[in-house]
């Protein structure tokens, strides 16, 4: 499976975990993942990936629902990639 196909499948499965205001919750997730920084939830609504207004954001946070067990299973199937730290370079020693 191509990486782009795997990402698309993951995003589809993630969307399936969201119900009651799932579209708005999904856009909040995108905004959280793409924002450099934000000081309040309303600022997330200014991100390009969040196409709705700030009122929709708060309504989704208040009334949206997430299937927590389905989300746990999804995340367990896709553990985050563990990146090894960069190799430490040894300083060159003139006497060695």
State pLDDT tens for residues 7-28: 889 999 999 999 888 888 888 8
Percent of the chain at pLDDT above 70? 71
Read off the pTM. Answer: 0.70
- SS in 3 state form for 8-66? HHHHHHHHHCEECCHHHHHHHHHHHHHCCCCCCHHHHCCCCCCCCCHHHHHHHHHHCEE
| Half-sphere exposure (Cβ direction) of 26: Cα atoms closer than 13 Å | 14
d(CA 86, CA 68): 35
Q: Where are the domains of the chain?
A: 3-77
DSSP symbol at 3: H
């Amino acid at each position: 499976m191509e990486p782009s196909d795997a990402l698309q499948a993951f995003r589809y499965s993630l969307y399936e975990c969201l119900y009651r205001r799932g579209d708005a919750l999904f856009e909040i997730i995108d905004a959280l993942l793409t924002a450099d920084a934000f000081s309040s939830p309303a600022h997330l609504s200014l991100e390009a990936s969040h196409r709705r207004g700030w009122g929709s954001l708060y309504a989704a946070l208040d009334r949206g629902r997430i299937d927590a067990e389905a989300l746990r299973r999804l995340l367990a199937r896709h553990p985050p990639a563990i990146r090894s730290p960069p190799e430490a370079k040894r300083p060159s020693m003139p006497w060695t």
